[in-house]
A and B are shown apart, each in its own frame.
Chain A
Amino acid sequence: MRDQPLTLEDTNLLVQLDDQMAAVNARARQSLVQITSGSGWHKGAGAGTIWHPDGLIVTNAHVIARGRVQVTLPDGQVLPARVLAADENLDLAALQVEASDLPPINLGHSKTLRPGQWVTAVGHPWGVLGASTSGIVIGAGREFPELVAQGREWIAVSLHMRPGHSGGPLLDAEGNVVGINTMITGPDVGFAIPVDVIKSFLKTALGRDEDSAHESARTHRDSLI
């Protein structure tokens, strides 16, 4: 153990870490939308994640449970949204807005997640737009001591998720989406639906294989000059 003060090199490491965390957040916010559902006193609000440039948005079913869905894009544009599919048991919904060339979130994988991995959740907690919270994966799978056995898959994360994070992306250290923020069981413990579950939901509900669609869309964009 060293007793000397931090050297410039050490400080640089933390500064670089800061920069990279900020970059992950900045990139994620481009694919983060606000969602309101219902009207008047019964209005609900949450977050959504842009899944595809052609206007496909993924959120939680509970975020759109009050009817009449509107999406606010990162540039402030407010668009009506059509519900393509919603599954209350999975707490997932797929929305469509009339737009093109939206910046989609980078898709990651959830099956390979390991306890200890760094994750960041973005959303609009208590209405604070584009807010971020970071921590690590507590565990991923079907077995969590505080959940009544349901047999479904979750990612448990140790960070400060709050109402309004729902529907926003959970990102790994490289900025890839690994889940959708869905619920909390305490002030320091959040639960996200694994991205692999969302992929199969979209495949079943919409007949779309987003992994390959995404890949081709990205390739197409990358090839533009």
Chain B
Amino acid sequence: MSEILKSLSDALAANTEAVSPSVVRMETRRRMPATGVVWNSDGVIVTSNHVVERDDNLRVGLPDGSTVEGKLVGRDPSTDLAVLKVENASLSVPHWADVSEIKVGHLVLAVGRPGKQVMATLGVVSAFDTAEKMRIGGALDYYLQTDVVMYPGFSGGPLMNAGGHVLGINTSALLDGVSLTITATTIKRVVETLLKHGKMRRGFLGVGAQGVKLPAVLAEALKQEVGLLIMVVEPGSPAEKGGLFMGDTIVQIDGRALRSPDELVNALTGDLIGRTVTLRVLRGGQLQNIEVVVGERG
């Protein structure tokens, strides 16, 4: 009577089963376990940073039922990703999807392993865009939001497309009440950096700043109410070398509006280290450009 519905049902169950060998359990926090995804056959595991509550005594539950010790490679709170490594485990690497093929409305499965067996929830892609357009900071390459139910312990688990390929890693921690998926593009960047440096490299200017209201005329011209007033310039810092002074108000970095210290932190991504950025600065009632070579945060 229901061939197509039955086929859909079988396909969803088959996709869940197919990814199961690449989905591990993270026993890395006090409360319930969470989920992680195998990144490569060398034993590298990716999960959500917020479920790795400690730096040692990390246990990883493998698909074969055994539990092994995991070592923390590094974390990146800005993308809510953490990388662990397990030794001598034979792990199955999942197929990663081409992120550019994602479309709003696509069916997606979230898979988790908070217990021994894998579990699944179903939903659709609610929103997909480059992260910059969605204004949630420079840390994510793409903004992928779904309506999948984040069942307890699903954070750190894979989001799969209809073809059974992994689109990214689900987290419920970055945006309150929203299921966000960190896509493969971001994961690759973070994992490679963490494996190489053990931490995420972040750009550094050496200023202390706070949001301040801009004069009405300027606010209208810039279509921006608030800028960043510099309170402190650290001696010898990139900011001082570039000629920034206490009392300057930064309104833009490389053409992007800056309205809060958080936006400046997000803008100073690791790839800017050693590069010159152009700051649009209000000084003595005049706007001017100041070029600063970005340093690295220690």
Which residues of A pack against B, CB within 8 Å?
1, 13, 16-17, 20-21, 23-24, 27, 114-118, 135-139, 141, 143-146, 156, 158, 172-175, 188-189
Contact = CB atoms under 8 A, between A and B. Distances in A.
Name, among A20, A116, A172, the residue most crowded by chain B CB atoms within 10 Å (CB to CB): A116
Contact of B16 (A115, A135, A175): A115
8 contacts: A17-B4, A21-B5, A115-B16, A139-B115, A141-B117, A143-B115, A145-B33, A158-B121
Contacts of A17: 4-5, 8
Interface string B19-36: 000000000000011000
B121 A174 contact: no
Given A138-B121, A143-B117, A172-B9, 15 more contacts: A13-B4, A20-B3, A24-B5, A114-B13, A115-B17, A115-B120, A116-B16, A116-B17, A139-B117, A145-B33, A145-B114, A146-B32, A146-B152, A158-B121, A173-B8
Given A1-B103, A136-B121, A116 B1 contact: no
Given A143-B115, A145-B32, A175-B1, A158 B13 contact: no
A173 B1 CA distance: 9
A116 B115 contact: no
B6 interface: yes
B141 to A, nearest CB: 19
A71 B133 CA distance: 57
Contact size range, B: 20 to 34
B118 interface: yes
Interface of B: 1-6, 8-10, 12-17, 32-33, 101, 103, 109, 111, 114-122, 149, 151-153
B170 to A, nearest CB: 14
Contacts, number: 105
Given A1-B103, A20-B2, A115-B117, A136 B122 contact: yes
A173 B122 contact: no
A28 B8 CA distance: 20
A145 B4 contact: no
B23 to A, nearest CB: 11
B9 A117 contact: yes
Nearest to A1: B101
Name, among A20, A114, A174, the residue most crowded by chain B CB atoms within 10 Å (CB to CB): A114
Contact of B13 (A16, A116, A145): A116
Contacts of A174: 1-2, 5-6
Given A116-B15, A117-B13, A174-B2, A138 B120 contact: yes
